[in-house]
Amino acid sequence: MIVPVLLLILLALSVAGFFLGRKKASAVAKSAGGRHKLHSRPNYYGIVTGLWCCLPAFFLFLLWLIFEQRIVTSLVIADLPPTLQQLPRERLVLIVQDIRNLATGNIVSGEITPEMRDAAAHFLELQDIGTMITSVLVLVVALAGILFFYRRITPELRARNQVEIVIKSLLIVCSTIAIFTTVGIVLSVLYEAIRFFRHVPVTDFLFGLEWSPQMAIREEQVGSSGAFGAVPVFAGTLLISAIAMMVAVPVGLLSAIFLSEYADKKIRAVVKPLLEILAGVPTVVYGFFAALVVAPSIRAVGSQIGLDVSSESALAAGLVMGIMIIPFVSSLSDDVINAVPQSLRDGAYSVGATRSETVKHVLIPAALPGIVGGILLAVSRAIGETMIVVMAAGLSANLTANPLQAVTTVTVQIVTLLVGDQEFDSPKTLAAFALGLVLFIGTLLLNIIALTVVRKYRERYE
């Protein structure tokens, strides 16, 4: 690979630039009458020289890495024989994909024609040329950078300030990554979702009562577009989340109250780590537990008392999801309850209230906004939880409120629609992004409300 070699050369050049710059700075200082004539310590001049060497070159290199595939691919397409170029877009995309696979030595899905073999060779050739050009460019830019700054070193030059400006800019770039992530999520999900809504009207998607996307799997069946009414999927998500909250909220809240108001140090020292372990168990483990232990037990109990319980019942998935969320609720509530000032407890105890009266009539009302915020965050988490439902909930979308039946959820559908072979333009695949959009917007709203409520609450007692 040429990439690491190039990066190593760049690094070496930068180090060389550092020493050159430092030496020049010392020399300049000597001729100006001593170290103290320099604005900054010689090291700073060296660092700036090094930065001038590596930063522009590195950005150039990064640009190439990002656009290499696209540039090369478009060049290859332009050079394809006309018979191939005139194919419909979808076919062309597949062929280009295969050419790329052929070039990188991956498994090819279709049959290989001589044209494609040629194209693959061409692809590799272009890639090599591109890399060559870039490498040379990068090195030239690096050397030019060193030269440029080296000649500008004077005692008055504020090297330290320049270093600090560069570092500060880097810090700013890093802190904006969160924004880029959000924008990236919104754009990517929205873009694909809009493409989906070109096939299926938004209203049909949001209010339709039937969900069976598998029917649209083959492209030839233009007429049978599958049913994309997502109401049963939303209903299933809410059903499972509701069951989860029914487990998690009382158990989590009461645990938090017990730990903060009743338990002594010893019990807290034992129970808190236990809850942390419960919180640290990966969701895939909970999913396995739900499918292996909980669902069969519920089914067995159901058949004992004469109930017909589905093996993928909403109850099993919801129950386990609730267990998963218990530590989340309890740690949030614990924080919130501890934030209630001791003076309120003192006030209640001083008029002779018992502990439970203090908790029920003073602490919980005082902490209510915070608790509600925490519960909203927990709901958002339940809605977005994936692995438990993928492993323990059903695939078919039933519109039912019966917790003993199988229902499906938004996340389950996203996973089933996107895992495995996908055709990127079929409504089936795009539907996953539409569901993803709904999921993102829904949880976003919950999160923002919850975080605002919690922040306001904290400010009140700070």
Partner 1 sequence: MQDVLKKKSMEKRILAPRDSRETIGNINVPNPRMVCRNVNVYYDDKQAIRNVSIDIGSNEVLAMIGPSGCGKSTFLRCLNRMNDTIESCRVNGQIFFDGSNIYDPSVDVVPLRAQIGMVFQKPNPFPKSIYENVSWAPIIHGLVETKADADEIVETSLHKAGLWDEVKDRLGQPGTGLSGGQQQRLCIARAIAVSPEVILMDEPCSALDPIATAKIEDLIDELREQYTIVIVTHSMQQASRVSQRTAFFHLGDLIEVGSTGTVFTKPSHQLTEDYITGRYG
Partner 2 sequence: MSSQKEQRPVAGNRGYIRQKKERTIDIVSRRLAQRYRKEKRFKLYGLFSIILSTVFLAVLLTSIVSNGYSAFFQTYIKLDVTLESTMLDRENLGKSDFQGIIKQSITKLYPEVADRKSKRELYALFSSGAAFQLRETVMKNPGLVGKTIPYWVPADDDVDMLMKGHSKRGVPENERRLDDRQLGWIDKLVDQNRIEKKFNVTFFTAGDSREPELAGIWGAVKGSFFTLLVTLALSFPIGIAAAVYLEEFAPKNLATDFIEVNINNLAAVPSIVFGLLGLAVFLNFFGMPRSTSLVGGLVLMLMTLPTIIIASRAALKAVPPSIREAALGVGSSKMQMVSNHVLPLALPGMLTGTIIGMAQALGETAPLLMIGMVAFIVDIPGGFTDPAAVMPVQIYLWADSPERAFLERTSAAIMVLLAFLIMMNAVAVIMRRRFEKRW
**CB closer to partner 2 out of 232 and 322:** 322
Number of H helices, E strands in the chain: 19, 2
Contacting partner 1 (CB under 8 A), which of 172, 174, 222, 351? Answer: 351
Segment interacting with partner 1 (CB under 8 A) among 106-114, 270-278, 357-365, 426-434: 357-365
**Cα(10)–Cα(53) distance, rounded to whole angstroms?**
8
Residues 232 and 408 sit within 8 Å (Cβ to Cβ) = yes
Q: How many residues of this chain interact with partner 1, rule: CB under 8 A?
A: 21
**Cα(32)–Cα(153) distance, rounded to whole angstroms?**
12
Out of partner 2, partner 1, none, which partner does residue 344 contact, by CB within 5 to 8 A per kind? partner 1
Out of partner 2, partner 1, none, which partner does residue 278 contact, by CB within 5 to 8 A per kind? partner 2
Nearest to 282 by CA among 424, 386, 417: 386
Contacting partner 1 (CB under 8 A), which of 347, 396, 419, 424? Answer: 347
- Compute the least distance from the CB of residue 354 to partner 1, in Å: 6
Q: Does 321 interact with partner 2 (rule: CB under 8 A)?
A: no
- Compute the least distance from the CB of residue 29 to partner 2, in Å: 20
Q: Does 74 interact with partner 2 (rule: CB under 8 A)?
A: no
Could you please report the per-residue DSSP string of 56-99? HHHHHHHHHHHHHHHHHHHHHHHHS-HHHHTS-HHHHHHHHHHH
Q: Does 360 interact with partner 2 (rule: CB under 8 A)?
A: yes
- Compute the least distance from the CB of residue 188 to partner 2, in Å: 3
Q: Does 332 interact with partner 2 (rule: CB under 8 A)?
A: no
Q: Does 258 interact with partner 2 (rule: CB under 8 A)?
A: yes
Contacting partner 1 (CB under 8 A), which of 139, 344, 404, 418? Answer: 344
Out of partner 2, partner 1, none, which partner does residue 266 contact, by CB within 5 to 8 A per kind? none
Burial class of 282 by CB neighbour count within 10 A (0 to 12, 13 to 18, 19+): exposed
According to DSSP, the residues that pair with 228 across neighbouring strands are 211
- Compute the least distance from the CB of residue 12 to partner 2, in Å: 21
**Cα(316)–Cα(289) distance, rounded to whole angstroms?**
10
Contacting partner 2 (CB under 8 A), which of 34, 81, 250, 341? Answer: 250
Contacting partner 2 (CB under 8 A), which of 236, 327, 374, 427? Answer: 327
Q: Exposure string (b/e) for 327-359, b if CB count within 10 Å is 16 or more? A: bbbbbbbbbbbebbeeebbeebeeeebeeeebb
Contacting partner 1 (CB under 8 A), which of 174, 350, 421, 459? Answer: 350
Torsion-angle region of residue 154: left (phi > 0), alpha (psi -120 to 50) or beta?
beta
Nearest to 153 by CA among 68, 59, 44: 44
Out of partner 2, partner 1, none, which partner does residue 343 contact, by CB within 5 to 8 A per kind? partner 1
Out of partner 1, partner 2, none, which partner does residue 404 contact, by CB within 5 to 8 A per kind? none
**Cα(303)–Cα(420) distance, rounded to whole angstroms?**
35
Q: Does 291 interact with partner 2 (rule: CB under 8 A)?
A: yes
**Cα(123)–Cα(128) distance, rounded to whole angstroms?**
9
Q: Exposure string (b/e) for 190-226, b if CB count within 10 Å is 16 or more? A: bebbebbbebbeeeebeebeebebeebeeeeeeeeeb
- Compute the least distance from the CB of residue 257 to partner 2, in Å: 6
**Cα(155)–Cα(42) distance, rounded to whole angstroms?**
10
Out of partner 1, partner 2, none, which partner does residue 205 contact, by CB within 5 to 8 A per kind? none
Record the tokens describing residue 78, joined without a space.
């332009």
Contact letters (x/-) for partner 2, 169-188, by CB under 8 A? -xxx-xxxxxx-xx-xx--x
- Compute the least distance from the CB of residue 442 to partner 1, in Å: 31
Q: Does 266 interact with partner 2 (rule: CB under 8 A)?
A: no
DSSP 211: E
- Compute the least distance from the CB of residue 261 to partner 1, in Å: 10
- Compute the least distance from the CB of residue 253 to partner 1, in Å: 18
Contact letters (x/-) for partner 1, 247-266, by CB under 8 A? -----------------xx-
Q: Which residues bind partner 1 (CB under 8 A)?
A: 264-265, 341-354, 357, 361-362, 365-366
